[in-house]
Amino acid sequence: MTGPSPTLPLPPVPGPLPATTPLVVALSGGLDSSVLLHRLAGDRVLRARGLRAIHVDHGLHPDSVAWGRACARACAALGIALEVVTVDARDTRGLGPEGAARKARHAAFERLLRDDEVLVLAHHLDDQAETFLLRALRASGPDGLAAMRPWRRFGRAWLWRPLLGLPRDALRAYAHAHDLAWVEDPGNEDDRFDRNFLRARVLPLLRERWPHASAALARSSELGADAADLLRAGDSRALARVATADPRCLSVAALSALPRARRQRVLRLWMDRLGLPPLPAQGVSRIEHDLIGARPDAGAAFAWHGVRVRRWRDLLHADHERAPLPVDWSVAWDGREPLSLPTGGALELVGAEALPGPCRVHARRGGERIQRAGRGHSHALKQVLQALEVPPWVRTRLPLLSDAAGTLLAAGDLVLAARLDAWLREHDARVLWTDPADAPPPALADAREPRCD
């Protein structure tokens, strides 16, 4: 006499979402995601919310197209809509094959998910334990050792891992009891990959001595997540204390006053908030030694992955690398249409049909002078820009406007000559320079002088 078929207890869908929010299963076709799809499809309440699946073909294995077809058959049998998407998972950033595939897969999910849909992943307790060991062996700190979260925001959607409390054996028993079919990726047996080595050789040995090793490691990871949450709350408060009106700039003096460990965490959080690539392993120490400890006028910088952090005066500036205007670039412009700049962005006359006379827009070449309103004589443009605290790398992108005689009328929209300033006021017009490198945040759009860009 056989016993009842094993079931998989699922927690309720968390979060403040209506009961009509659709669920989207990330379906690889393997054991774990196949069990997850079958379990969700068999729940009348969850299915009523709207249930569909997405399969990502990474194109890394000759059988990957066949795996997609297997997913299609499984979904058809359950009456679940499936979307198959092919991605380019080649490693171009040194992430390794697993990291590159994960990055491509997550990008596809973010693109395909709709507002507030719930992406459901099949990670389980053993995955949690493996991740903890991997990160510990890589000398990760509290953030790295923190557990995978069962629920979090994911772009404009949400991410839910309902199986985190269940071991892999429970999923396998469910699959056999329900006679499920799944695909086996031969790459999962290759113990040259770190995770496969832990799964096939290390964790079984640990469980021989400590049967509950996976549960204990997963619990340690959860405790690490609690500690990381507390640390991140303190990091956010510290970042607010060292921040400036421009989120891309931090006060060096305020940073220096923080304890070293907190300062390092704040620098990493800063990069994350700006949406910039994470600092490399030695990035924080390089910034501390080469930038924070540098003279204010040293022009110190640290660059990685197309990003540069610079020290200028009492500020650290972080942004993507940006090309300067070509020194020999010069074009005629009458203001009737916005002028596209070779570095991106544009120069535009707003509120008037055309400039008062023929003009040229060109790059800085050095030695320019400008006479501003209320001044009896001209000043060197370099000194004016320094007084306005415009950093040197922004000056190299600054489009200059000169009349037919070569008299300087404006430097972007930061500095206006008295003559052009009077004409613009008379016509209730303005010159507007937009630049992707140094445009201030929306909240600061009207605070053009002085600024930190």
Tens-digit pLDDT profile for residues 107-122: 999 999 999 999 999 9
Q: Determine whether 134 is exposed, middle or buried from the number of CB atoms within 10 Å of its CB (0-12, 13-18, 19+).
A: middle
Query: CB–CB of 99/91 below 8 Å?
Result: yes
**Cα 143 from Cα 289, distance rounded (Å):** 24
**Highest CATH level, class, for 243-320:** mainly alpha
Q: For strand 157-160 and strand 408-411, is the pairing parallel, antiparallel, or unpaired?
A: unpaired
Compare 304 and 451 and report the one with higher pLDDT: 304
**Cα 395 from Cα 343, distance rounded (Å):** 13
* pLDDT for the residue 6: 66
Asked whether residue 437 carries a pLDDT value surpassing 90, the answer given is: no
Is 78 annotated in some ligand binding site?
no
Residues facing residue 303 across a β-bridge: 308
Query: CB–CB of 415/388 below 8 Å?
Result: yes
pLDDT tier at 453, thresholds 50, 70, 90: very low
Is 29 annotated in some ligand binding site?
yes
**Highest CATH level, class, for 23-220:** alpha beta
Query: CB–CB of 109/26 below 8 Å?
Result: yes
Asked whether residue 360 carries a pLDDT value surpassing 80, the answer given is: yes
* pLDDT for the residue 93: 62
Spell out the domain ranges in the chain: 23-220, 243-320, 330-444
pLDDT tier at 442, thresholds 50, 70, 90: very low
* pLDDT for the residue 439: 47
pLDDT tier at 5, thresholds 50, 70, 90: low
Residues near 309 by beta carbon (within 8 Å), at least 6 away in sequence: 287, 291, 301, 302, 303, 316, 317, 318
Asked whether residue 97 carries a pLDDT value surpassing 90, the answer given is: no
Q: For strand 379-380 and strand 369-370, is the pairing parallel, antiparallel, or unpaired?
A: antiparallel
Tens-digit pLDDT profile for residues 166-211: 999 999 999 999 999 999 888 778 888 888 999 999 999 999 999 9
Is 32 annotated in some ligand binding site?
yes
Asked whether residue 26 carries a pLDDT value surpassing 90, the answer given is: yes
Task: List own/partner pairs for 228-232 with CB under 8 A and 24 or more apart.
Answer: 228/142, 228/143, 228/145, 228/146, 231/142, 231/143, 231/265, 232/143, 232/269
Is 345 annotated in some ligand binding site?
no
Return the closest-CA partner of residue 19 out of 48, 39, 42.
48
Is 256 annotated in some ligand binding site?
no
Q: What is the mean pLDDT of residues 128-136?
A: 94
CB atoms within 10 A of CB 12: 8
Q: For strand 315-320 and strand 307-312, is the pairing parallel, antiparallel, or unpaired?
A: antiparallel
Structure tokens given for 31? 């054991």
* pLDDT for the residue 244: 94
Q: What mean pLDDT, rounded, does the chain reach?
A: 89
